[in-house]
Amino acid sequence: MEILLLLIYSFFVWLIFFRFKWLPWTFVSQVIVVTLPVVGLMMTILLLNIFAPSSHDVRVINYVVQIVPRVSGRVVDVPIEPDRPISKGQVLFKIDPTPYEQQAKSLEAKTVRLKGAVVVAEAAQRQLELQLQSVIAKKQAVEANVELARKRESQTKELADRGAGSKFDWEKALSDLKALEAELASAVASESQVVQQLAAKMPDGELATIAQARAELAAAEADLAEAKWKVAECTVFAPTDGTAVNLQLREGSTVTAFPTMPSLSFVENKQWVLMLFSQNELRTIKSGNEAEISLHTHPNRIFKCKVDSIIWASGTGQLPISGTIPGQMTQPMPAGKFAVRLLLDGKDKDVLLAAGASGAGAVFTDSGAMLHIIRKVMVRVGTKLDWLILKLH
């Protein structure tokens, strides 16, 4: 753009001083002619860098999800193709579910058996409770008979002592009393035995056998749910829309549920467009500012954007967490640079850009609208140069 402005300026100088000779070509005019474009270009560039800052480091970054299965096993199906669009929820690959299905069937059988054990234990508790009620009722009846027999024994003894009754009746009443007392003792022993069995209860009022059976059933049901979950996890789905790049997974491969050993890398369609600026260029940039970028992958095309935010962090501002003195730091971006996140806008809002694409662009702030035109022309001239492939081999 600067060369174009100089050519236009030179054309007018030629017209004024040489073609029409409106002004004399003297030493003073020569100094003025040379000084004006130098000062003008310097002021223009300085003001452009303030009101329409540009960057030749624009990057397109995509989220990459490392697909790690939740279960281990042998891969039996990979229905996707590399570098092809994949929709959210589409099957990425399948793991042989046979061992987990067998485990689930075994646990289902165990669960059924334990449910039966719980039913039997509950029935045994109900039977003991009914037995206790029966023993208590029998004891109460025997106690009443014992009380009546004692009265009869006392009465027959008193009559026999007075001679008003036979001694045989007294002896029979005494025999009946002892028989009923023995029966009462048996009823009391039976009650004590049932009470002792029912006394072995948990705090919630259940027999220990029922509590144990239910605990075993709950553990078996949890194991069964985990086994069914593992069967479901044998099919791995796409977490969102994207593509599988460099797909090396094939049928017969073995995958493991280990975080550091992903089965494939899934590149999401969701993207970040970052434009890197020097720190003193950020003072006039605000969220919502208009921006334009050009990418080397799309020669002669301008992408309209809006400034989303300034990422006020850089790798140079982070020290490693350790007990050693910090040495050389890893820098994810050039030192002294901060990234401005852009969002594609207008008709380019839904354009899918290549992850890793680079280019140049500019942000147009709220001031210096007249200078924005010059920067836009410069951006467009730059993207047209992307048509040229400058290499000798």
Residue 167: the pLDDT is: 66
Print the domain residue range for 206. Answer: 99-231
Let me know whether 145 and 196 are in one domain: yes
Confidence of residue 202 (pLDDT cuts 50, 70, 90): very low
144 and 225 share a domain?
yes
pLDDT in tens, 138-181: 777 777 777 777 776 676 766 666 666 676 666 676 777 677 77
Q: In this structure, is residue 241 part of a structural domain? A: no
Q: What is the pLDDT of residue 321?
A: 67
Residue at 326 is within a domain: no
- 276 and 380, same domain (yes or no): yes
Find the range with the poorest average confidence among 188-197, 332-341, 349-358, 379-388.
188-197
Query: What is the tens place of the pLDDT at every residue in 216-272?
Result: 888 888 999 999 999 999 999 999 999 998 888 999 999 998 888 888 999 998 888
Residues 193 and 128 in one domain: yes
Distance CA 365, CA 291 (A): 9
Write the CATH number for 151: 1.10.287
Classify residue 222: in a domain, yes or no. yes
Mean pLDDT, rounded, for 72-82: 93
227 and 146 Cβ atoms separated by less than 8 Å: no
**Are 267 and 383 found together in one domain?**
yes
Describe the chain by its helix, strand, coil percentages, rounded to 5.
50, 20, 30
**SS3 assignment, position 243:** strand
pLDDT the model gives residue 230: 94
Q: What is the pLDDT of residues 277-317, one digit of tens each?
A: 999 899 899 999 999 999 999 999 999 999 999 998 877 77
> Are 64 and 141 members of one domain?
no
Looking at 214, 231, 248, which one is the last position of a domain?
Answer: 231
Tokens of 318: 């982070």
Both 27 and 118 in one domain: the answer is: no
Residue 239 lies in a domain: no
Residues 17 and 59 in one domain: no
Residue found by looking up tokens 């046979």 in the block: 98
Are residues 293 and 202 located together in one domain of the fold? no
Please give the C-alpha separations between residue 126 and each of 122, 191, 198, 210, in angstroms, as whole numbers.
6, 15, 10, 11
- pTM attached to this predicted model: 0.65
> Of the candidates 220, 214, 217, which has an alpha carbon nearest to the alpha carbon of residue 104?
220
Calculate Rg over the CA atoms of the chain: 47
Give domain status of residue 330, yes or no. no
Residue bearing the bigger pLDDT, 22 or 177: 22
Both 297 and 354 in a single domain?
yes
Judge whether residue 384 has pLDDT over 80: yes
Q: Which carries the bigger pLDDT value, residue 206 or residue 104?
A: 104
DSSP 8-state symbol, 385: G
Same domain, 195 and 213: yes
Q: Does residue 76 sit within a domain?
A: no
Contact 361, 380 (CB under 8 A): no
We report the CATH number of the domain holding residue 269 as: 2.40.30.170
Judged against a pLDDT cut of 90, whether residue 214 lies above it is answered with no
**In this model, does residue 24 exceed pLDDT 80?**
yes
Residue 91 lies in a domain: no
Is the confidence at residue 205, as pLDDT, over 60? no
In 3-state terms, what secondary structure has residue 61? strand
| Distance, CA of 145 to CA of 121 (rounded, Å) | 36
Q: How many domains does the chain divide into?
A: 3
Burial profile 281-299: b = 16 or more Cβ within 10 angstroms, e = fewer: beebbeeebbbbbbbeebe
**pLDDT, position 204:** 47
Query: Quick check: is 256 in a domain?
Result: no
Do both 308 and 361 map to the same domain? yes
Tokens of residue 144, six digits? 């009443």
